[in-house]
Amino acid sequence: MNGIDILMKEHENILAFNGFLRKICAGIVEGQEVDGVLLRECIDFGRNYADKHHHGKEEKILFRIMMENMGPVADKLIRNGMLVEHDLGRLHLTQLEAAIEEYEKNPVTDHKLDIISNAVGYGALLQRHIDKEDQAAYAFAARALPADKMNDVDSETENFENQAREDGIQEHYENWLRSKLG
């Protein structure tokens, strides 16, 4: 499987996670209690699977190789688009974590609103971001990267995946996600 295929498969997991997170938020709106433990598990998934594992491959491998080899259009797409959105996702998770902490200290509606707005905002950002990557960034790379550079993407991605597999990253987070989706 090539590097871009692996990234797109991970997008499927991240989109399923987004649906789960949205369901949690809908439950809060409908009167369910805020489950700080579950929301922190979601933050962990976002930080360590979606960001560190998935975005890590993009930033360290695909996007780096694109910027090094595809000129100013790729540089602009990556720096002013993809990387900015990665940082916005990190901000949403940080603000979500702070909102949970505030809610646990003082369980008022205002803090629930902060939880919901950051969780839903994170999911909406990732949804749009994934669409852009699948339709624009990845398609651009597949079309315009020279074959030897695409081979580098594939090889480096395989090495990254093997190390993550040794560390149990994919198994842990994919099992967690399956357990939540039922």
Q: Return the percent helix, strand and coil in the chain, to nearest 5.
A: 90, 0, 10
Q: For the beta carbon of residue 39, count every other beta carbon within 10 angstroms.
A: 22
The Cα 16–Cα 74 span in angstroms is: 28
Reported as half-sphere exposure (CB side, CA atoms, 13 A), residue 42 has a value of 33
Percent of the chain with pLDDT over 70: 99
pLDDT, residue 88, reads 98
Q: Which two tokens stand for residue 122?
A: 């994170």
Q: Give the residue-averaged pLDDT of 101-123.
A: 98
3-state secondary structure of 153: helix
Mean pLDDT of 81-91: 97
- At 182 the pLDDT is 86
Q: What is the mean pLDDT of residues 90-113?
A: 98
Distances (CA, A) of 139 to 5, 26, 66, 76, 120: 11, 34, 12, 16, 27
- Per-chain mean pLDDT for the chain: 97
1 pLDDT exceeds 90? Answer: no
pLDDT tens per residue, range 116-157: 999 999 999 999 999 999 999 999 999 999 999 999 999 999
pLDDT, one tens digit per residue, over 2-35 is 999 999 999 999 999 999 999 999 999 999 999 9
Residues sharing a CB contact under 8 Å with residue 114, sequence separation 6 or more, in sequence order: 95, 98, 99, 102, 103
Task: Read off the pTM.
Answer: 0.96
The pLDDT-based confidence of 85 (bands split at 50, 70, 90) is very high
- Provide the sign of the torsion angle of the four alpha carbons 82, 87, 90, 91, taken in this order: negative
Is a pLDDT exceeding 70 seen at residue 173? yes
